[in-house]
Structure 1
Amino acid sequence: MAALIHNHPTTAAAAASAFAFSPCFPRDPFLSHRSTNLHYLSKPEISSFLSPSRTKANPQNIRISPQFLQNPSISSSKLLNNSQLPNNDYSPLLQLSVRYGDIELAKTVHASILKLEEGTYLSNALIVAYIKLGRIDLAHKVFKAISSPDVVSYTAMISGFAKANRENEAIELFLEMRGSGIEPNEYSFVALLTACIRLLDLELGLQVHTFLLKLGFLDCIYVVNALMGLYSKCSCLDFVMELFDDMKTRDIASWNTVISSLVKECFYEEVFGFFRDMLRIDGFRVDYFTLSSLLTSAAGCFGMREGREVHAYAIKGGFESNLSVDNALIRFYTKCGSVEDVLYLFERMPEKDVFTWTEMITAYMQFGLVDSAAETFDRMPERTCVSYNALLAGYSQNDEGLRALKLFCRMVEEGAELNDFTLTSVLNACGSIMQKNTSEQIHGFVLKFGFGRNSCVEAALLDMCTWCGRMADAEKIYIRWPTNQDSSIPLTAMICGYARNRQLNEALSLFCVGQSEESLVLDEVTATTILGICGQLGFHKFGEQIHCCSIKYGLLSDTMLGNATISMYSKCGEMEDAIKVFNTMVVHDIVSWNSLLAGHVLHRQGDEALAIWMKMEKLGVQPDSVTCLFIISAYRHTNSDLVDCCRGFFSSMESIYQIKPTSEHYANFVGVLGYWGLLEEAEEIIKKMPFVPKSCVWRALLDSCRIHRSATIGKRVVKEILSLEPQDPSTFILKSNLYSASGRWHCSEIVREEMREKGFRKFPGQSWIIHDNKVHSFFARDRTHPQSKDIYSGLQILILECIKVGYVPDTSFVLHEAEEYQKKDFLLYHGAKLAITCGLLMTKPGKTVRIMKNILLCGDCHTFFKNVSVVTKREIHVRDASGFHCFSSGKCSCKDHW
């Protein structure tokens, strides 16, 4: 039962106190009725008990001076003065030594007892005293010196071993007692079950249960309470409930055990039902243990009303000053997001311990008040490892990675205790800042510290490596993961890591392996990650299967997963399915609305996106910065008459919605103006920006110059981009292409040589199709595909057929120095053309061919696809960086503006 109470969300001091006085464990079971329990007497009562009148029968009376009662550490040998208590009963003095923590008094009494003839009763009292004084070694010596230990002797030592983290010795001693023919009593079984609880030994617990049933001990409340504590600890709630239902008589500890078991298994609603039954059936008055469990339950189900009712009940019952209840109240109001109530409670608490201060740090961090949490930490009168960890974890959760690393260095310098939670938090913080060198240093420290084989730390190490781009190191950690440990956590981390580092095929392959080997259980995190990958790849069928599995396993109640499903369908070109998922969601957050808006913008459905925005306004949904980006972009896909509406929305962002426009908002607005040919106005907007524009704003204007073929403004824009990002690889490419376009081939080659020297590489254009649940990807002039010979032959025939209907290769898109025939050769084997040919060869006639591309579709490929739709009489859907293009009968849905 000590372990059961230890796991309850109360302070350690309160838990220890609960164990000492809890009715689930009888008081002083190892002393006979002859001893008077001095532990519950006041100092005057002790003086009276040892007064001369009480010891008149003995010629050598013990006289205790008032100085001893004021200061019990005075030499205890003088107290005895070679005398003896009446009837040689030294147990009151032993209890006195326990009360004042005076080990020297106990040793002196021990010495006096040794002069007497051996007596099991006094030896047992001595064993109990040493155990309570924390000297299990001395207690064991006394036990071994007893020639004929009885059930009390064995029980005392079994209990002592169980509480001193020597559980296996406790079990061995119980078996020794049974082997010697001594029958255990109810206290023996409570002690044995305590050892089982600490070891989480369910198998032995079941054997003890059978033995108890056979001997008829299941009528003893203390034993059943201990047995329920074991089953609760081992998450066997059904056994707990069965034992509870069969109890003829219950005490408050019985109710507390079953209520805390329900809390542990997250049956929060049932908790309050049992609480009402406790009051109605047995009429027990709640204690602080009950109230703490109820508050934990209310926090778990975010039951603000229930929690406030428990708070009122605590005040009515006189528990408003109870430290454990107040700490539980702080946790409850923190979970329910009521910062005012937390602060009010904290300020009014008459007593605060280190756990109270730590709870406040956790609360501030949850509310995002990082500086307040740091100030609270500095004000703490004393700190523990838990306090440091609360601050460290809070920094990590609030994306304050650098502050977390500084705190960790301070902990190391101050010699603070480091545990697996500490290292897990600092590894998460290191992952958040994504600095490879720093992550390698922390990795080395963890291995040197000796936590490298801890599963929690190993999982955090793996995750950190994936965030810092160290996938090779992450793979090494994953490969050496012990086979006897749960592999679902590292498997999920690797899948997410591959996705994060754009290794999408590897992520899907590993997911499929985990599913086939049944080593991975589909949860919200994994499903969300895989749906995100399916969306990026346009892998509709795979995403649809994950959606079905999510419904089957009841995961779609998770809002984040629902949002990922909307995004997946919209990116796969299935906007109707995305809308259906949105409409079936029980709860929508701002991300849900943004996902729907993003889908309409991606499909160039500006009117539909603006209709969604009007619906949001009617429902009173407050937009965020991302919402504004999509609303501005939507005006690009409506008509030019709505440009004034776009201007009005952009100008009112800060005044109406309290959202200050960023460079990204300006880039979208400039893109809309430029799209409708208002290039001069767009340029003027950039010049009047209240802050220095980022390159993305100028690039938006440059894109509009490309659409409208405005070379004059384009040259000015290029100069701005080159001055803003002279070292960006894309800027080098832009500069090189400009030199090539103007015929300055020597200058172009110098720029490219500089790129090679600096190690810069152009982000390669890639195109792919999905067929038979496989991704077939292509780069320009790619010959790595197994059917490349057939694809190239098919493309040559397709080009000839397109030329017959009017296709003329546009070599102006090839800007490097080359002969005309070389330019055509480069142009005709772009990755997008190879992908469309592969799709036509692999799919049945009449079927739509879907192509994905990671960059903008070039002008020549756009023209080529319009001709292919005429020649093949098929629809061709292409998703590039600007959105979806639907080619049909020689026309494109983008109206040649993309």
Structure 2
Amino acid sequence: MASVLLVQFNSSILASPSSHYRFLLFPSLPHTSFFHCPLKSPSLPFLLPSTTTTSPTPLSTFHHALHSSLSPTYFLPLHRTSVSDSNSNSPFLSDDSSGYGGISDIDGLFGLLRLSARYDDVELARAVHASVAKLEEDTHLVNALIVAYLKLGLFSDAYNVFMGLACPDVVSYTALISGFSKSNREEAALELFFRMRNSGIEPNEYTFVAILTTCVRIMHFHLGLQIHNIAIKMGYLDCAFVANALMSLYSAYGVYDDVLKLFGEMRERDIASWNTVISGAVKESMYDTAFQLFRGMQGTDALRIDYFTLSTLLTACAGSVAMMEGKQVHAHSIKVGLETNLSVGNSLIGFYTKCGTLEDVVSVFQRMTERDVITWTEMVMAYMESGLVNLALKIFSEMPQKNSVSYNTLLSGFCQNGEGLKALDLFLKMVEEGVELTDFSLTSVISACSLLADYRVSKQIHGFALKFGFGSNVCIEAALLDMYTRCGRMEDAENMFCRWRLDEGSSVAWTSMICGYARNGQPDEALSLVHLSQLEGKMIMDEIASSSVLSLCGTIGYRELGKQIHCHVLKLGFQADVGVGNAVVSMYFKCWDLDDAIKMFNHMSTTDVVSWNALISGHLLHRSGDTALDIWSNMQKEGIKPDKITFVLVISAYRLTNLNLVDDCRDLFHSMRTVYGVEPNSEHYASFISVLGYWGLLEEAEETIRKMPFEPAASVWRALLDSCRLHKNTIIGKRVAKQILALEPRDPSTYILVSNLFSASGRWHCSEMVRENMREKGFRKQPAQSWIIWQKKIHSFYARDKSHPHTKDIYRGLEILILECLKVGYVPDTSFVLHEVEEHQKKDFLFHHSSKLAATYGLLTSKPGKPIRIVKNILLCGDCHTFLKYASIVTKKDIFLRDSSGFHCFSNGLCSCKDYW
């Protein structure tokens, strides 16, 4: 009897402690001793032959023996037996005529190949390869060798083995096609598939899955359709694997109707079938369909929901802001024992970040027994979403592992919270530490430059993008163009726009430029560019472009064009896009059309927090604070999670209510952090101070500012200063003015506010001193601009503007209108004129303010019975407000004006703002 060597694996790796794996060698070698020799996996010691008992034989010795000394007949497969099988009666140790315990030598090679792949042992695979080469060609065994090499990442070796086959079969081809497809070698996979077809070998179900996967990865839809036809002809469509792969193909291309059709025709479905059709619905934002399919899946007794199903449903709940459904899915994950699954846990964090509270997010995070880099990154995002920048930084610093996504999340979080300098510092750190920079990294740091509005830094970032090869990226170029417009550098933006390549990405440039003109008070140029883009067909009116043009229409108050774009949206089927729907709602609100805005909101198939914010904001524009608070109440009933902007709007609504609800406002402001997990920032404080100041609580407002947990921004002090102007309180106003001037010594708007404060309280001398100080420093206020849209054209006016082709008629009409207003009681308030000149000259300046010129032009061109609609880029001055009230009396016309505070409706001598704005 030949000597027997028993190699027994450590029981710690076994499924149960009462079983062992045995690996048998039957070499014709001298009697040997037993000892442990570690594999590459530290938990996998096994026994090897040795001539001594004092030192272990290196693994390379075993490999060498396998490769050169031992005949292939000495290898037997891995078997699982009970502990009792280790005695002398074990069938593996019995002596029989074959000498191999009834196990063939080929089976042993299969076992070794599985081992090599399982434990990532390249040397073992190559040693087996050497043994296989000594045998007659066995396609089945060679296929196993190909699979082992592919699993080890040795693609050249796998391909060389394949090329050495005299008669490769469908398994040979399929293994390589699948392996190449999964390793970004899609072209090679396609070539192999065509070679297989040309050789007359028919694909099997696994071949179809492999080649369809390749089509999805390289977005080769046409080839995928051809594969579909072949599968039909060969009768493989009844195979769930193939049908699932086809559904994945159609889902990847957004052809969801075909996904549903395939799913409906399937005779047998597995859990992958349901997961594919549900995830496809979520991808297309068809959340109701996803929920309906899930209910259908639950009715199939043969199936059990897995982690992928739950993760997909949680994504649907987050996308549709379905709070109750998300909690039900969470409860279901607990019921089936998958709450602690890593993928489900990560999805729960994402869901609660969007739909729940920060407390919910932290609770899920703390219960997770396993965390990965996605988990930690999601937590950084959650804290950033809540405005808790310091806690986000703390989580980031505690991350055991970081990747570029982690850094990019922190980077975008800084931008999201207005921390431009911190974002810039982080970007510099990423460059210094060699973190992989992506398109997202560059667009985020460019956004940071936009926040800082620092032209010098912006130029440096532009240079960096060019130097490191990002300059030719359409997304980066679009971000740079947008950055220049946000920095007010329209000349640089125009130069960049003119150099833009004429390709499909140019649509992004047109959109950015149009928005830039609108943002920088150049509505004429913006509208001209819209018409030019339509005329030349340069801008593709997709969802993004449509939303941008709708936003422009709202900004300039061009309802007719906005209505046309809305019709375009309906025609192309974009109405289901929630972003487009939000843009339509906002456009109608800004264009005086309250009814159509509400109607559009009610007809939206899907809404999100931005939709509700647009609804609240629109009513605030129309000074309907009570309605805005009712919407806030409905928003809570619907389970919509508010964001930071929501609280800015809702707090502001208390300023526009018919009743003094300051106590309710206080309660909401102080519950932001504890109940909703949103940390108040400068915008929230400014809104709250504005409410306190409006209701005359100036001392409380000042005390609140001084107790803020961080340094107050100028906007917070400015809100209090404006309240001081409203209530003619110069004592607090002077203190506040000093604070603002210390923060922003070169901001002319502060001087204007202080001057107006003194004027409103009758302290003309002090007002003149402020103005003189302003003139000495060379400060000029932002030029007021008012416009009217008539005959599809914007007619803009500045103070004392005489550039309009009908200037003579406008000035003559204004003189007549002023005389008529004077007759019924209008008294000019020259305190609003910032010029040290004679009184009659002040009146001349005052009479020719932009809003008066625009109103006169509107009266000359409007039809009888039609209201006049004016848009003004800054706050309406007190004298113009008074004048327009009298103008509505003498002309018997309603005059609608939208300024930076909202809408004014002048009718029969009264204004909808009740003279408080």
Q: Give the TM-score normalised by structure 1.
A: 0.73
Matches within 5 A, 1:40-439: 48=22, 50-52=24-26, 67=36, 70=45, 73-75=59-61, 76-86=63-73, 89=106, 90-115=109-134, 120-278=139-297, 280-281=299-300, 283-439=302-458
Q: Deviation of residue 349 (structure 1)?
A: 3.2
- Tell me the residue number matched to 1:678: none
Preserved contact between residue 62 and residue 85 of structure 1 (Cα < 8 Å):
no
Q: Distance in 2 between matches of 1:857 and 1:807?
A: 17
Q: Deviation of residue 307 (structure 1)?
A: 4.4
Preserved contact between residue 579 and residue 596 of structure 1 (Cα < 8 Å):
no
Preserved contact between residue 692 and residue 700 of structure 2 (Cα < 8 Å):
no
Residues 779-809 of structure 1, C-alpha deviations (whole Å, 9 max, x = no match): 2332221233444555567778889999999
Q: 1:804 to 1:460 in 2, by over 3 A?
A: closer
- Tell me the residue number matched to 2:92: none
Q: 1:61 to 1:440 in 2, by over 3 A?
A: farther
Q: Distance in 1 between matches of 2:379 and 2:703?
A: 46
Q: 1:877 to 1:433 in 2, by over 3 A?
A: closer
Q: Distance in 2 between matches of 1:420 and 1:886?
A: 50
Preserved contact between residue 626 and residue 656 of structure 2 (Cα < 8 Å):
no
Q: 1:191 to 1:683 in 2, by over 3 A?
A: closer
The aligned amino acid for 2:71 is Q
Q: Distance in 2 between matches of 1:811 and 1:154?
A: 89
The alignment partner of 2:60 has SS state of coil
The alignment partner of 1:249 has SS state of coil
Q: Deviation of residue 876 (structure 1)?
A: 5.7
- Tell me the residue number matched to 1:10: none
Q: Deviation of residue 85 (structure 1)?
A: 1.6
- Tell me the residue number matched to 1:7: none
Q: Deviation of residue 202 (structure 1)?
A: 1.2
Q: Deviation of residue 50 (structure 1)?
A: 3.4
Q: 1:778 to 1:114 in 2, by over 3 A?
A: same
**Which stretch of structure 1 is more off in the superposition, 69-78 or 812-821?**
812-821
Q: CA RMSD in A?
A: 5.4
Q: 1:794 to 1:372 in 2, by over 3 A?
A: closer
The alignment partner of 2:69 has SS state of coil
Preserved contact between residue 362 and residue 394 of structure 1 (Cα < 8 Å):
yes
Q: Deviation of residue 61 (structure 1)?
A: 11
Q: Which runs of 5+ in 1 are unaligned?
A: 1-38, 602-608, 636-644, 674-681, 706-712
1:775 to 794, 799, 807: 794
Q: Which runs of 5+ in 2 are unaligned?
A: 1-12, 40-44, 47-57, 74-103, 672-679, 707-711
The aligned amino acid for 2:415 is S
Q: Deviation of residue 168 (structure 1)?
A: 0.8
- Tell me the residue number matched to 2:461: 442
Q: Deviation of residue 753 (structure 1)?
A: 6.9
Q: 1:44 to 1:420 in 2, by over 3 A?
A: farther
- Tell me the residue number matched to 2:88: none
Q: Deviation of residue 171 (structure 1)?
A: 0.9
- Tell me the residue number matched to 1:886: 906
The aligned amino acid for 1:886 is F
Q: 1:891 to 1:230 in 2, by over 3 A?
A: closer
The alignment partner of 1:886 has SS state of strand
- Tell me the residue number matched to 2:8: none
Q: Distance in 2 between matches of 1:357 and 1:896?
A: 52
Preserved contact between residue 446 and residue 479 of structure 2 (Cα < 8 Å):
yes
Q: 1:447 to 1:46 in 2, by over 3 A?
A: farther
Residues 846-881 of structure 1, C-alpha deviations (whole Å, 9 max, x = no match): 765555555677788778778877876766666667
The aligned amino acid for 1:174 is F
Preserved contact between residue 327 and residue 355 of structure 1 (Cα < 8 Å):
yes
Q: Distance in 2 between matches of 1:344 and 1:683?
A: 41
**Which stretch of structure 1 is more off in the superposition, 878-887 or 555-564?**
555-564
Preserved contact between residue 495 and residue 507 of structure 1 (Cα < 8 Å):
yes
Q: Distance in 2 between matches of 1:321 and 1:818?
A: 77
Kindly indicate which of the two structures has a greater share of residues assigned to helix. Answer: 1
Matched, 1:503 2:511: no
Q: Deviation of residue 165 (structure 1)?
A: 1.0
Q: Deviation of residue 226 (structure 1)?
A: 2.8
Residues 802-859 of structure 1, C-alpha deviations (whole Å, 9 max, x = no match): 8999999998977756688877765665545544443344334676555555567778
Q: Deviation of residue 208 (structure 1)?
A: 1.1
The alignment partner of 2:788 has SS state of strand
Preserved contact between residue 531 and residue 565 of structure 1 (Cα < 8 Å):
no
Matches within 5 A, 1:339-738: 339-475=358-494, 484-485=503-504, 490-512=509-531, 517=537, 519=539, 521=541, 527=547, 537-539=556-558, 541-542=560-561, 565=585, 569=589, 592=615, 595-600=618-623, 654=666, 658=670, 691=706, 694=717, 697=720, 725=741, 727-729=746-748
The aligned amino acid for 2:248 is G
Preserved contact between residue 699 and residue 721 of structure 1 (Cα < 8 Å):
no
Q: 1:368 to 1:817 in 2, by over 3 A?
A: closer
Q: Deviation of residue 557 (structure 1)?
A: 10
Q: 1:360 to 1:722 in 2, by over 3 A?
A: closer
- Tell me the residue number matched to 2:99: none
The aligned amino acid for 2:427 is F
Q: 1:494 to 1:100 in 2, by over 3 A?
A: same
Q: 1:113 to 1:773 in 2, by over 3 A?
A: same
The aligned amino acid for 1:784 is S
**Which stretch of structure 1 is more off in the superposition, 120-129 or 552-561?**
552-561
The alignment partner of 2:356 has SS state of coil
Q: 1:44 to 1:130 in 2, by over 3 A?
A: farther
The aligned amino acid for 2:906 is C
2:803 to 784, 787, 808: 784
Q: Distance in 2 between matches of 1:723 and 1:291?
A: 54
The alignment partner of 1:74 has SS state of helix
**Which stretch of structure 1 is more off in the superposition, 486-495 or 168-177?**
486-495
Q: 1:701 to 1:560 in 2, by over 3 A?
A: farther
The alignment partner of 1:776 has SS state of strand
Residues 106-127 of structure 1, C-alpha deviations (whole Å, 9 max, x = no match): 2233344445566555543432
Q: Distance in 2 between matches of 1:715 and 1:42?
A: 83
Q: Distance in 1 between matches of 2:700 and 2:369?
A: 60
Matches within 5 A, 1:767-846: 767-792=786-811, 816=835, 829-844=848-863
Q: 1:856 to 1:165 in 2, by over 3 A?
A: closer
Residues 431-475 of structure 1, C-alpha deviations (whole Å, 9 max, x = no match): 344443333333332332323333444444444444333444445
**Which stretch of structure 1 is more off in the superposition, 571-580 or 492-501?**
571-580
The alignment partner of 2:794 has SS state of strand
Question: Identity across aligned pairs (percent)?
Answer: 47
Q: 1:445 to 1:672 in 2, by over 3 A?
A: same
Q: 1:862 to 1:424 in 2, by over 3 A?
A: closer
Q: Distance in 2 between matches of 1:425 and 1:844?
A: 49
Q: Distance in 2 between matches of 1:352 and 1:894?
A: 55
Preserved contact between residue 67 and residue 130 of structure 2 (Cα < 8 Å):
no
The aligned amino acid for 2:183 is A
The alignment partner of 2:223 has SS state of helix
Preserved contact between residue 781 and residue 831 of structure 1 (Cα < 8 Å):
yes
Q: Give the TM-score normalised by structure 2.
A: 0.72
Q: How many residues align?
A: 815
